[in-house]
Structure 1
Amino acid sequence: MDTLKEPFDFPVRENTKSFLEIIHVETGERETLATFDQVIEAPNWTRDDRIIYNSGGHIYSFDINTNERNVIDSGFACFCNNDHVLSPDESQIAVSHHTLEDRQSRIYILPLKGGHPTLITPMAPSYLHGWSPDGKTLSYCAERNGQYDIYTIPTSGGIEKQLTDLPGLDDGPEYSPDGRHIWFNSTRSGLMQIWRMNAMGSDQTQMTFEESNNWFPHVSPNGEKVVYLSYRKGDVEPGDHPPNKDVELRIMSNSGGESRLLLKLFGGQGTINVNSWSPDSKQIAYVRYELND
Protein backbone atom coordinates (compact mmCIF):
# COMPACT_ATOMS: atom_id res chain seq x y z
CA MET A 1 0.00 0.00 0.00
CA ASP A 2 1.18 3.52 -0.80
CA THR A 3 1.51 5.89 2.12
CA LEU A 4 2.14 9.61 1.84
CA LYS A 5 5.60 9.79 3.36
CA GLU A 6 6.85 12.52 1.05
CA PRO A 7 5.39 15.37 -1.00
CA PHE A 8 3.95 14.38 -4.37
CA ASP A 9 3.66 17.29 -6.79
CA PHE A 10 0.64 16.12 -8.77
CA PRO A 11 0.53 18.09 -12.03
CA VAL A 12 -1.95 20.97 -11.85
CA ARG A 13 -3.03 23.29 -14.67
CA GLU A 14 -3.31 26.67 -13.00
CA ASN A 15 -5.47 29.63 -14.01
CA THR A 16 -7.97 27.40 -15.75
CA LYS A 17 -11.75 27.36 -15.44
CA SER A 18 -13.67 24.18 -16.36
CA PHE A 19 -17.18 23.88 -17.76
CA LEU A 20 -18.93 20.53 -17.46
CA GLU A 21 -21.31 20.44 -20.42
CA ILE A 22 -23.52 18.08 -22.41
CA ILE A 23 -24.52 18.12 -26.06
CA HIS A 24 -27.38 16.36 -27.85
CA VAL A 25 -25.75 14.53 -30.77
CA GLU A 26 -28.70 14.99 -33.14
CA THR A 27 -29.91 18.51 -32.38
CA GLY A 28 -26.61 20.06 -31.29
CA GLU A 29 -28.35 21.57 -28.24
CA ARG A 30 -25.84 22.28 -25.46
CA GLU A 31 -26.19 22.75 -21.72
CA THR A 32 -23.67 23.76 -19.07
CA LEU A 33 -24.18 21.62 -15.98
CA ALA A 34 -21.59 23.24 -13.73
CA THR A 35 -18.62 25.60 -13.68
CA PHE A 36 -15.43 24.94 -11.73
CA ASP A 37 -12.58 27.29 -10.81
CA GLN A 38 -10.10 24.44 -11.27
CA VAL A 39 -9.41 21.73 -13.81
CA ILE A 40 -11.79 18.81 -13.92
CA GLU A 41 -11.42 16.05 -16.50
CA ALA A 42 -12.87 13.01 -18.20
CA PRO A 43 -16.58 12.62 -17.42
CA ASN A 44 -18.19 9.17 -17.12
CA TRP A 45 -22.03 9.25 -17.27
CA THR A 46 -23.82 6.75 -14.99
CA ARG A 47 -27.26 5.21 -15.48
CA ASP A 48 -28.56 7.10 -12.44
CA ASP A 49 -27.53 10.45 -13.97
CA ARG A 50 -24.29 11.12 -12.18
CA ILE A 51 -21.10 12.37 -13.80
CA ILE A 52 -17.88 10.83 -12.50
CA TYR A 53 -14.79 12.97 -13.08
CA ASN A 54 -11.27 13.50 -11.77
CA SER A 55 -9.70 16.64 -10.35
CA GLY A 56 -6.43 17.17 -8.49
CA GLY A 57 -5.79 13.43 -8.23
CA HIS A 58 -9.18 12.58 -6.71
CA ILE A 59 -12.34 11.07 -8.21
CA TYR A 60 -15.64 12.93 -7.79
CA SER A 61 -19.33 12.32 -8.37
CA PHE A 62 -21.65 15.07 -9.67
CA ASP A 63 -25.42 14.55 -9.55
CA ILE A 64 -27.00 16.04 -12.70
CA ASN A 65 -30.39 16.47 -11.05
CA THR A 66 -29.29 18.06 -7.78
CA ASN A 67 -25.85 19.53 -8.64
CA GLU A 68 -24.50 17.77 -5.54
CA ARG A 69 -20.76 17.09 -5.70
CA ASN A 70 -19.00 14.46 -3.62
CA VAL A 71 -15.51 13.05 -3.53
CA ILE A 72 -15.33 9.27 -3.88
CA ASP A 73 -13.17 7.75 -1.16
CA SER A 74 -10.39 5.99 -3.05
CA GLY A 75 -8.12 5.37 -0.09
CA PHE A 76 -4.44 5.71 -0.89
CA ALA A 77 -5.24 6.08 -4.62
CA CYS A 78 -5.38 9.87 -4.44
CA PHE A 79 -3.17 10.68 -7.42
CA CYS A 80 -5.55 9.52 -10.15
CA ASN A 81 -5.27 10.78 -13.71
CA ASN A 82 -8.03 11.11 -16.32
CA ASP A 83 -8.12 7.42 -17.29
CA HIS A 84 -10.95 5.92 -15.23
CA VAL A 85 -13.74 3.55 -16.29
CA LEU A 86 -16.93 2.17 -14.71
CA SER A 87 -17.66 -1.55 -14.51
CA PRO A 88 -20.57 -2.74 -16.69
CA ASP A 89 -22.87 -2.98 -13.66
CA GLU A 90 -21.52 0.34 -12.31
CA SER A 91 -20.75 -1.16 -8.93
CA GLN A 92 -17.01 -0.54 -9.35
CA ILE A 93 -14.63 1.95 -10.87
CA ALA A 94 -11.16 1.25 -12.22
CA VAL A 95 -8.68 4.12 -11.91
CA SER A 96 -5.17 4.91 -13.09
CA HIS A 97 -3.25 6.03 -10.00
CA HIS A 98 0.32 7.31 -9.85
CA THR A 99 2.01 5.28 -7.14
CA LEU A 100 4.48 6.82 -4.73
CA GLU A 101 7.37 4.44 -5.29
CA ASP A 102 8.04 5.60 -8.85
CA ARG A 103 5.19 8.07 -9.61
CA GLN A 104 4.05 5.99 -12.56
CA SER A 105 0.45 5.11 -13.45
CA ARG A 106 -0.94 1.72 -12.41
CA ILE A 107 -4.51 0.45 -12.60
CA TYR A 108 -6.61 -0.25 -9.51
CA ILE A 109 -10.24 -1.29 -8.96
CA LEU A 110 -12.41 -0.09 -6.07
CA PRO A 111 -16.13 0.14 -5.25
CA LEU A 112 -17.86 3.09 -6.94
CA LYS A 113 -19.33 4.02 -3.54
CA GLY A 114 -15.74 4.25 -2.26
CA GLY A 115 -13.40 1.81 -0.61
CA HIS A 116 -10.05 0.08 -0.72
CA PRO A 117 -8.29 -0.03 -4.13
CA THR A 118 -7.02 -3.37 -5.45
CA LEU A 119 -3.93 -3.34 -7.68
CA ILE A 120 -4.50 -4.91 -11.12
CA THR A 121 -1.38 -3.96 -13.14
CA PRO A 122 1.89 -4.23 -11.20
CA MET A 123 3.78 -3.10 -14.30
CA ALA A 124 3.88 0.60 -15.16
CA PRO A 125 3.08 2.89 -16.75
CA SER A 126 -0.44 1.58 -17.49
CA TYR A 127 -3.32 3.86 -18.53
CA LEU A 128 -6.83 2.42 -18.37
CA HIS A 129 -9.41 2.96 -21.12
CA GLY A 130 -11.85 0.03 -21.36
CA TRP A 131 -13.81 -2.57 -19.41
CA SER A 132 -15.27 -5.52 -21.31
CA PRO A 133 -19.08 -5.86 -21.27
CA ASP A 134 -18.83 -9.22 -19.49
CA GLY A 135 -16.89 -7.54 -16.70
CA LYS A 136 -13.91 -9.88 -16.96
CA THR A 137 -11.24 -7.85 -18.77
CA LEU A 138 -9.66 -4.39 -18.78
CA SER A 139 -8.06 -2.77 -21.83
CA TYR A 140 -5.31 -0.20 -21.50
CA CYS A 141 -2.37 1.57 -23.06
CA ALA A 142 1.01 0.71 -21.56
CA GLU A 143 4.65 1.45 -22.16
CA ARG A 144 6.78 -1.67 -22.18
CA ASN A 145 10.41 -1.58 -23.37
CA GLY A 146 10.05 1.97 -24.68
CA GLN A 147 6.97 1.27 -26.83
CA TYR A 148 3.34 2.19 -26.14
CA ASP A 149 0.91 -0.56 -27.16
CA ILE A 150 -2.55 -1.92 -26.33
CA TYR A 151 -2.88 -4.56 -23.61
CA THR A 152 -5.63 -6.43 -21.80
CA ILE A 153 -5.65 -8.06 -18.38
CA PRO A 154 -8.24 -9.96 -16.32
CA THR A 155 -10.08 -7.80 -13.79
CA SER A 156 -8.89 -10.26 -11.15
CA GLY A 157 -5.28 -9.50 -12.12
CA GLY A 158 -2.81 -11.87 -13.66
CA ILE A 159 -0.84 -11.92 -16.91
CA GLU A 160 -1.35 -9.06 -19.35
CA LYS A 161 -1.85 -9.78 -23.06
CA GLN A 162 -0.28 -7.54 -25.71
CA LEU A 163 -2.62 -6.85 -28.65
CA THR A 164 -0.60 -4.41 -30.80
CA ASP A 165 3.09 -4.34 -31.70
CA LEU A 166 3.56 -2.07 -34.73
CA PRO A 167 5.80 1.03 -34.58
CA GLY A 168 4.02 4.15 -33.35
CA LEU A 169 1.81 5.07 -30.42
CA ASP A 170 -1.36 3.05 -29.82
CA ASP A 171 -3.71 4.47 -27.18
CA GLY A 172 -7.31 4.78 -26.00
CA PRO A 173 -8.50 1.13 -26.27
CA GLU A 174 -12.23 0.84 -25.55
CA TYR A 175 -14.59 -2.12 -25.99
CA SER A 176 -17.68 -1.93 -28.17
CA PRO A 177 -20.88 -2.65 -26.20
CA ASP A 178 -21.19 -6.13 -27.75
CA GLY A 179 -17.62 -6.97 -26.73
CA ARG A 180 -16.61 -7.97 -30.26
CA HIS A 181 -14.26 -5.06 -30.95
CA ILE A 182 -11.76 -2.76 -29.32
CA TRP A 183 -11.59 0.75 -30.72
CA PHE A 184 -8.32 2.67 -30.33
CA ASN A 185 -6.20 5.45 -31.84
CA SER A 186 -2.81 4.99 -33.48
CA THR A 187 -0.06 6.95 -35.23
CA ARG A 188 1.03 3.92 -37.26
CA SER A 189 -0.18 5.54 -40.51
CA GLY A 190 1.41 8.93 -39.79
CA LEU A 191 -1.21 11.17 -38.22
CA MET A 192 -3.18 9.92 -35.22
CA GLN A 193 -6.23 8.10 -36.58
CA ILE A 194 -9.06 5.97 -35.23
CA TRP A 195 -8.70 2.19 -35.57
CA ARG A 196 -10.74 -0.89 -34.66
CA MET A 197 -9.73 -4.49 -34.05
CA ASN A 198 -11.30 -7.70 -32.88
CA ALA A 199 -11.28 -8.04 -29.10
CA MET A 200 -8.42 -10.56 -29.23
CA GLY A 201 -6.28 -8.25 -31.38
CA SER A 202 -6.82 -9.51 -34.93
CA ASP A 203 -8.09 -7.61 -38.00
CA GLN A 204 -6.70 -4.18 -37.05
CA THR A 205 -8.55 -1.77 -39.35
CA GLN A 206 -8.17 1.98 -39.88
CA MET A 207 -11.54 3.74 -39.49
CA THR A 208 -10.68 7.43 -40.11
CA PHE A 209 -8.53 8.89 -42.89
CA GLU A 210 -8.71 12.59 -42.09
CA GLU A 211 -6.09 15.35 -42.25
CA SER A 212 -6.24 15.74 -38.49
CA ASN A 213 -5.06 13.98 -35.32
CA ASN A 214 -7.93 11.95 -33.87
CA TRP A 215 -8.04 10.62 -30.31
CA PHE A 216 -10.16 8.61 -27.88
CA PRO A 217 -12.95 6.87 -29.81
CA HIS A 218 -16.02 6.29 -27.63
CA VAL A 219 -18.78 3.96 -28.80
CA SER A 220 -22.38 4.80 -27.89
CA PRO A 221 -24.16 2.35 -25.55
CA ASN A 222 -26.41 1.21 -28.42
CA GLY A 223 -23.29 0.47 -30.47
CA GLU A 224 -24.30 2.68 -33.41
CA LYS A 225 -22.12 5.79 -33.15
CA VAL A 226 -18.54 6.71 -32.28
CA VAL A 227 -17.48 10.13 -31.00
CA TYR A 228 -13.85 11.23 -30.85
CA LEU A 229 -11.60 14.23 -30.18
CA SER A 230 -9.86 15.87 -33.15
CA TYR A 231 -6.85 18.21 -33.21
CA ARG A 232 -6.06 20.22 -36.33
CA LYS A 233 -3.07 18.98 -38.31
CA GLY A 234 -0.03 21.04 -37.37
CA ASP A 235 -1.41 22.18 -34.01
CA VAL A 236 0.11 19.17 -32.22
CA GLU A 237 2.50 16.34 -32.88
CA PRO A 238 0.55 13.19 -33.85
CA GLY A 239 1.50 11.44 -30.61
CA ASP A 240 0.62 14.34 -28.32
CA HIS A 241 -2.76 15.37 -26.86
CA PRO A 242 -2.17 18.53 -24.83
CA PRO A 243 -4.75 20.75 -23.12
CA ASN A 244 -5.73 24.28 -24.10
CA LYS A 245 -6.12 23.80 -27.84
CA ASP A 246 -8.87 24.53 -30.31
CA VAL A 247 -10.31 21.08 -30.95
CA GLU A 248 -13.38 19.40 -32.35
CA LEU A 249 -15.70 16.66 -31.23
CA ARG A 250 -16.59 14.58 -34.27
CA ILE A 251 -19.05 11.72 -34.68
CA MET A 252 -19.22 8.81 -37.11
CA SER A 253 -21.04 5.53 -37.69
CA ASN A 254 -19.63 2.44 -36.02
CA SER A 255 -19.16 1.02 -39.51
CA GLY A 256 -16.87 3.88 -40.54
CA GLY A 257 -17.36 6.34 -43.35
CA GLU A 258 -17.42 10.12 -43.28
CA SER A 259 -17.59 11.81 -39.90
CA ARG A 260 -19.44 15.02 -39.11
CA LEU A 261 -18.60 17.92 -36.85
CA LEU A 262 -20.40 17.84 -33.53
CA LEU A 263 -18.76 20.75 -31.73
CA LYS A 264 -15.79 23.12 -31.81
CA LEU A 265 -14.36 24.07 -28.42
CA PHE A 266 -11.27 25.04 -26.41
CA GLY A 267 -10.13 21.82 -24.81
CA GLY A 268 -8.05 18.75 -25.56
CA GLN A 269 -6.51 16.79 -22.72
CA GLY A 270 -9.29 16.14 -20.21
CA THR A 271 -12.23 16.89 -22.53
CA ILE A 272 -13.33 13.31 -23.33
CA ASN A 273 -10.48 10.98 -22.34
CA VAL A 274 -13.00 8.30 -21.33
CA ASN A 275 -16.45 7.25 -22.50
CA SER A 276 -18.96 9.97 -21.63
CA TRP A 277 -22.07 8.91 -23.57
CA SER A 278 -25.43 9.20 -21.84
CA PRO A 279 -27.08 5.82 -21.17
CA ASP A 280 -29.71 6.49 -23.87
CA SER A 281 -27.01 7.18 -26.53
CA LYS A 282 -28.44 10.65 -27.23
CA GLN A 283 -25.98 12.96 -25.47
CA ILE A 284 -22.28 13.36 -24.73
CA ALA A 285 -20.75 14.90 -21.61
CA TYR A 286 -17.49 16.78 -22.07
CA VAL A 287 -15.31 19.41 -20.41
CA ARG A 288 -14.59 22.79 -21.98
CA TYR A 289 -11.92 25.10 -20.60
CA GLU A 290 -11.17 28.81 -20.33
CA LEU A 291 -7.90 30.42 -19.28
CA ASN A 292 -8.22 33.08 -16.60
CA ASP A 293 -6.66 36.45 -17.38
Structure 2
Amino acid sequence: MSENQTQSSAENARAEVVTHALSQDITLPSTGGKSAGTFVLVTLDNGFDHTKPNSFGPQGLAELEKAVDAAAERAAKGEIVGFGVTGKPFIMAVGADLMALPSITDREQAVDIAEQGHRVFSKIADLDVPTFAFVNGASMGGGVEIGLYCDYRTMSADVPAYSLPECFLGLVPGWGGTYLLPNLIGVENALQLIITNPLSNNKMATGAQAFKLGVADELLAPVTFLEDSLAFAAAVISGEKKVERPEVNKDEAAWKAACDKARVFTMQKTGGAAPAPLRAIDLVEAARTNTRAQGFAGEDQALGDLIMSD
Protein backbone atom coordinates (compact mmCIF):
# COMPACT_ATOMS: atom_id res chain seq x y z
CA MET A 1 0.00 0.00 0.00
CA SER A 2 1.35 3.44 -0.95
CA GLU A 3 1.85 6.25 1.57
CA ASN A 4 -1.14 8.13 0.09
CA GLN A 5 -3.33 5.05 0.37
CA THR A 6 -2.23 4.53 3.98
CA GLN A 7 -3.06 8.16 4.79
CA SER A 8 -6.44 7.86 3.06
CA SER A 9 -7.28 4.71 5.02
CA ALA A 10 -6.37 6.43 8.29
CA GLU A 11 -8.57 9.39 7.42
CA ASN A 12 -11.48 7.10 6.56
CA ALA A 13 -11.02 5.26 9.84
CA ARG A 14 -11.36 8.57 11.66
CA ALA A 15 -14.32 9.70 9.58
CA GLU A 16 -17.29 10.72 11.68
CA VAL A 17 -20.25 8.37 11.81
CA VAL A 18 -22.90 11.07 11.65
CA THR A 19 -25.77 10.86 14.10
CA HIS A 20 -28.65 12.34 12.16
CA ALA A 21 -31.37 14.48 13.72
CA LEU A 22 -34.56 13.15 12.13
CA SER A 23 -37.49 15.52 12.66
CA GLN A 24 -41.15 14.56 12.46
CA ASP A 25 -44.40 16.29 13.27
CA ILE A 26 -46.69 14.53 15.71
CA THR A 27 -50.23 15.51 16.59
CA LEU A 28 -50.32 15.15 20.33
CA PRO A 29 -53.07 13.02 21.88
CA SER A 30 -56.22 14.77 23.01
CA THR A 31 -56.56 16.04 26.55
CA GLY A 32 -60.00 16.99 27.72
CA GLY A 33 -61.37 16.27 24.25
CA LYS A 34 -59.04 18.73 22.55
CA SER A 35 -55.78 18.09 20.69
CA ALA A 36 -52.76 19.58 22.40
CA GLY A 37 -51.35 20.58 18.98
CA THR A 38 -48.35 19.82 16.77
CA PHE A 39 -45.21 18.56 18.44
CA VAL A 40 -41.78 18.27 16.79
CA LEU A 41 -39.92 15.11 17.74
CA VAL A 42 -36.25 14.75 16.80
CA THR A 43 -34.90 11.21 16.77
CA LEU A 44 -31.13 10.76 17.04
CA ASP A 45 -30.09 7.96 14.67
CA ASN A 46 -26.75 7.18 13.05
CA GLY A 47 -28.30 4.65 10.70
CA PHE A 48 -26.85 1.58 12.42
CA ASP A 49 -28.38 -0.86 14.89
CA HIS A 50 -27.87 -0.76 18.66
CA THR A 51 -24.39 -2.30 18.39
CA LYS A 52 -23.10 1.04 17.02
CA PRO A 53 -24.44 3.67 19.43
CA ASN A 54 -25.25 7.26 18.53
CA SER A 55 -22.48 9.76 19.29
CA PHE A 56 -22.03 13.48 18.68
CA GLY A 57 -19.38 14.70 16.25
CA PRO A 58 -19.14 18.10 14.55
CA GLN A 59 -21.36 17.12 11.60
CA GLY A 60 -23.99 15.50 13.79
CA LEU A 61 -24.10 18.54 16.06
CA ALA A 62 -24.46 20.79 13.02
CA GLU A 63 -27.38 18.70 11.78
CA LEU A 64 -29.03 18.83 15.21
CA GLU A 65 -28.54 22.59 15.25
CA LYS A 66 -30.38 22.92 11.93
CA ALA A 67 -33.28 20.86 13.28
CA VAL A 68 -33.53 22.99 16.42
CA ASP A 69 -33.26 26.23 14.42
CA ALA A 70 -36.12 25.06 12.19
CA ALA A 71 -38.22 24.29 15.26
CA ALA A 72 -37.42 27.72 16.70
CA GLU A 73 -38.73 29.41 13.55
CA ARG A 74 -41.94 27.40 13.69
CA ALA A 75 -42.37 28.06 17.40
CA ALA A 76 -42.07 31.80 16.76
CA LYS A 77 -44.89 31.50 14.22
CA GLY A 78 -47.07 29.55 16.63
CA GLU A 79 -47.00 26.46 14.40
CA ILE A 80 -45.83 24.05 17.12
CA VAL A 81 -46.59 23.65 20.81
CA GLY A 82 -43.61 21.57 21.92
CA PHE A 83 -40.28 19.99 21.03
CA GLY A 84 -38.81 16.65 22.00
CA VAL A 85 -35.68 14.59 21.46
CA THR A 86 -35.24 10.82 21.73
CA GLY A 87 -32.96 8.11 20.42
CA LYS A 88 -33.06 5.14 18.11
CA PRO A 89 -34.15 1.76 19.56
CA PHE A 90 -32.19 0.93 22.74
CA ILE A 91 -29.86 3.94 22.41
CA MET A 92 -30.25 7.62 23.28
CA ALA A 93 -26.60 8.66 22.72
CA VAL A 94 -23.24 7.87 24.26
CA GLY A 95 -21.68 11.32 24.13
CA ALA A 96 -19.01 12.99 22.05
CA ASP A 97 -17.28 11.14 19.24
CA LEU A 98 -13.97 10.44 21.01
CA MET A 99 -12.45 9.03 17.82
CA ALA A 100 -11.83 12.63 16.77
CA LEU A 101 -9.68 13.49 19.80
CA PRO A 102 -6.36 12.17 18.40
CA SER A 103 -6.67 14.60 15.50
CA ILE A 104 -6.79 17.64 17.82
CA THR A 105 -3.45 19.43 17.66
CA ASP A 106 -3.99 22.58 19.70
CA ARG A 107 -5.99 23.87 22.64
CA GLU A 108 -8.18 26.13 20.51
CA GLN A 109 -9.57 23.10 18.68
CA ALA A 110 -10.30 21.42 22.01
CA VAL A 111 -12.18 24.46 23.30
CA ASP A 112 -14.12 24.65 20.02
CA ILE A 113 -15.53 21.15 20.66
CA ALA A 114 -16.85 22.22 24.05
CA GLU A 115 -18.24 25.48 22.73
CA GLN A 116 -20.06 23.79 19.83
CA GLY A 117 -21.82 21.37 22.16
CA HIS A 118 -22.86 24.17 24.49
CA ARG A 119 -24.11 26.33 21.63
CA VAL A 120 -26.19 23.64 19.97
CA PHE A 121 -27.70 22.18 23.14
CA SER A 122 -28.44 25.66 24.51
CA LYS A 123 -30.69 26.31 21.54
CA ILE A 124 -32.97 23.57 22.90
CA ALA A 125 -33.14 25.31 26.28
CA ASP A 126 -33.88 28.62 24.58
CA LEU A 127 -36.85 27.40 22.51
CA ASP A 128 -40.09 29.31 23.12
CA VAL A 129 -42.11 26.11 23.60
CA PRO A 130 -41.90 23.41 26.29
CA THR A 131 -39.10 20.92 25.59
CA PHE A 132 -38.87 17.24 26.45
CA ALA A 133 -36.24 14.50 26.45
CA PHE A 134 -37.61 10.99 26.04
CA VAL A 135 -34.71 8.88 27.34
CA ASN A 136 -35.44 5.57 25.68
CA GLY A 137 -32.08 3.80 25.92
CA ALA A 138 -28.45 3.89 26.98
CA SER A 139 -27.32 7.44 27.74
CA MET A 140 -23.77 8.49 28.50
CA GLY A 141 -21.91 11.78 28.54
CA GLY A 142 -23.48 14.11 26.00
CA GLY A 143 -26.40 11.69 25.73
CA VAL A 144 -27.19 12.55 29.35
CA GLU A 145 -26.39 16.22 28.96
CA ILE A 146 -28.68 16.88 25.99
CA GLY A 147 -31.61 15.87 28.16
CA LEU A 148 -30.60 18.34 30.87
CA TYR A 149 -31.31 21.24 28.52
CA CYS A 150 -34.94 20.16 28.18
CA ASP A 151 -37.69 21.37 30.48
CA TYR A 152 -38.97 17.84 31.18
CA ARG A 153 -37.64 14.28 30.93
CA THR A 154 -39.19 10.82 30.77
CA MET A 155 -37.14 7.68 31.38
CA SER A 156 -37.75 4.18 30.12
CA ALA A 157 -37.68 1.64 32.94
CA ASP A 158 -35.39 -0.65 30.95
CA VAL A 159 -32.58 1.85 30.29
CA PRO A 160 -29.50 -0.27 31.11
CA ALA A 161 -26.93 2.49 31.44
CA TYR A 162 -27.17 6.17 32.39
CA SER A 163 -23.82 7.74 33.20
CA LEU A 164 -21.36 10.58 32.99
CA PRO A 165 -18.11 8.62 32.53
CA GLU A 166 -15.90 11.59 31.64
CA CYS A 167 -13.84 11.63 34.85
CA PHE A 168 -13.03 7.95 34.29
CA LEU A 169 -11.69 8.98 30.86
CA GLY A 170 -9.61 11.92 32.11
CA LEU A 171 -12.16 14.57 31.12
CA VAL A 172 -15.07 16.43 32.74
CA PRO A 173 -18.72 16.51 31.70
CA GLY A 174 -18.10 19.40 29.34
CA TRP A 175 -21.44 20.06 27.65
CA GLY A 176 -23.31 21.37 30.67
CA GLY A 177 -23.19 18.45 33.08
CA THR A 178 -21.24 20.07 35.90
CA TYR A 179 -23.59 23.07 35.94
CA LEU A 180 -27.03 21.81 34.93
CA LEU A 181 -27.07 18.53 36.85
CA PRO A 182 -26.38 19.85 40.38
CA ASN A 183 -28.89 22.62 39.80
CA LEU A 184 -31.48 20.01 38.79
CA ILE A 185 -30.99 17.18 41.30
CA GLY A 186 -28.82 18.72 44.01
CA VAL A 187 -25.10 18.61 44.62
CA GLU A 188 -24.90 15.21 46.36
CA ASN A 189 -26.88 13.32 43.72
CA ALA A 190 -24.98 15.09 40.95
CA LEU A 191 -21.62 14.13 42.44
CA GLN A 192 -22.82 10.54 42.60
CA LEU A 193 -23.09 10.52 38.82
CA ILE A 194 -20.13 12.81 38.05
CA ILE A 195 -17.54 11.53 40.56
CA THR A 196 -18.51 8.51 42.67
CA ASN A 197 -19.78 6.21 39.91
CA PRO A 198 -17.03 6.94 37.36
CA LEU A 199 -14.29 6.45 39.95
CA SER A 200 -15.90 3.18 41.08
CA ASN A 201 -14.79 1.22 38.02
CA ASN A 202 -17.01 3.39 35.82
CA LYS A 203 -20.22 2.16 37.41
CA MET A 204 -23.36 2.78 35.37
CA ALA A 205 -26.72 3.71 36.86
CA THR A 206 -29.84 2.08 35.48
CA GLY A 207 -32.74 4.19 34.29
CA ALA A 208 -34.66 3.38 37.46
CA GLN A 209 -31.73 4.40 39.64
CA ALA A 210 -31.29 7.64 37.69
CA PHE A 211 -34.99 8.37 38.09
CA LYS A 212 -34.66 7.99 41.87
CA LEU A 213 -31.83 10.53 41.78
CA GLY A 214 -34.26 12.97 40.17
CA VAL A 215 -33.04 13.23 36.58
CA ALA A 216 -36.46 12.37 35.08
CA ASP A 217 -40.03 13.37 35.84
CA GLU A 218 -41.63 10.07 34.82
CA LEU A 219 -40.43 6.46 34.77
CA LEU A 220 -42.39 4.64 32.06
CA ALA A 221 -42.80 1.07 30.87
CA PRO A 222 -40.65 0.30 27.80
CA VAL A 223 -43.44 -1.36 25.80
CA THR A 224 -45.44 1.86 25.46
CA PHE A 225 -42.64 4.30 26.24
CA LEU A 226 -42.97 6.68 23.29
CA GLU A 227 -46.77 6.66 23.38
CA ASP A 228 -46.78 7.36 27.11
CA SER A 229 -44.08 10.03 26.77
CA LEU A 230 -46.14 11.87 24.17
CA ALA A 231 -49.21 11.61 26.41
CA PHE A 232 -47.13 13.08 29.26
CA ALA A 233 -46.02 15.93 26.98
CA ALA A 234 -49.61 16.59 25.93
CA ALA A 235 -50.77 16.72 29.54
CA VAL A 236 -47.97 19.10 30.53
CA ILE A 237 -48.48 21.40 27.54
CA SER A 238 -52.25 21.55 28.01
CA GLY A 239 -51.84 22.33 31.69
CA GLU A 240 -53.61 19.16 32.77
CA LYS A 241 -50.44 17.95 34.52
CA LYS A 242 -48.13 20.06 36.66
CA VAL A 243 -44.64 18.71 37.32
CA GLU A 244 -43.29 19.38 40.80
CA ARG A 245 -39.68 18.77 41.82
CA PRO A 246 -37.96 19.04 45.21
CA GLU A 247 -36.24 22.38 45.70
CA VAL A 248 -32.46 22.12 45.37
CA ASN A 249 -30.67 22.98 48.60
CA LYS A 250 -28.29 25.87 47.80
CA ASP A 251 -27.00 26.26 51.35
CA GLU A 252 -23.34 27.21 51.01
CA ALA A 253 -22.07 25.07 53.89
CA ALA A 254 -23.96 21.96 52.78
CA TRP A 255 -22.89 22.40 49.15
CA LYS A 256 -19.22 22.83 50.14
CA ALA A 257 -19.36 19.85 52.48
CA ALA A 258 -20.60 17.60 49.65
CA CYS A 259 -17.81 18.81 47.37
CA ASP A 260 -15.17 18.37 50.09
CA LYS A 261 -16.42 14.82 50.67
CA ALA A 262 -16.09 14.14 46.93
CA ARG A 263 -12.51 15.47 47.01
CA VAL A 264 -11.59 13.10 49.85
CA PHE A 265 -13.12 10.21 47.90
CA THR A 266 -11.21 11.26 44.76
CA MET A 267 -7.90 11.41 46.62
CA GLN A 268 -8.53 7.96 48.06
CA LYS A 269 -9.19 6.60 44.58
CA THR A 270 -6.51 8.45 42.60
CA GLY A 271 -3.94 9.80 45.06
CA GLY A 272 -4.26 13.11 43.28
CA ALA A 273 -2.70 11.71 40.11
CA ALA A 274 -5.79 12.36 37.99
CA PRO A 275 -6.62 16.06 37.49
CA ALA A 276 -10.02 15.58 35.83
CA PRO A 277 -12.18 14.62 38.84
CA LEU A 278 -10.77 17.42 40.98
CA ARG A 279 -11.43 19.87 38.15
CA ALA A 280 -14.98 18.54 37.85
CA ILE A 281 -15.60 18.99 41.57
CA ASP A 282 -14.39 22.60 41.36
CA LEU A 283 -16.89 23.20 38.55
CA VAL A 284 -19.73 21.59 40.51
CA GLU A 285 -18.88 23.68 43.58
CA ALA A 286 -18.95 26.86 41.46
CA ALA A 287 -22.31 25.84 39.97
CA ARG A 288 -24.07 26.91 43.18
CA THR A 289 -23.63 30.60 42.32
CA ASN A 290 -22.49 30.63 38.68
CA THR A 291 -24.70 31.80 35.86
CA ARG A 292 -25.23 29.36 33.00
CA ALA A 293 -22.75 31.31 30.87
CA GLN A 294 -20.12 31.21 33.61
CA GLY A 295 -20.63 27.49 34.20
CA PHE A 296 -20.32 26.67 30.52
CA ALA A 297 -17.23 28.88 30.10
CA GLY A 298 -15.60 26.98 32.95
CA GLU A 299 -16.32 23.68 31.22
CA ASP A 300 -14.90 25.03 27.94
CA GLN A 301 -11.62 25.91 29.62
CA ALA A 302 -11.45 22.63 31.57
CA LEU A 303 -11.96 20.56 28.43
CA GLY A 304 -9.37 22.62 26.59
CA ASP A 305 -6.83 21.92 29.31
CA LEU A 306 -7.65 18.25 29.80
CA ILE A 307 -7.89 17.23 26.14
CA MET A 308 -4.39 18.64 25.59
CA SER A 309 -2.97 17.05 28.73
CA ASP A 310 -1.21 13.69 29.03
User: What is the TM-score of this pair, normalised by structure 1?
Assistant: 0.28
User: What is the TM-score of this pair, normalised by structure 2?
Assistant: 0.27
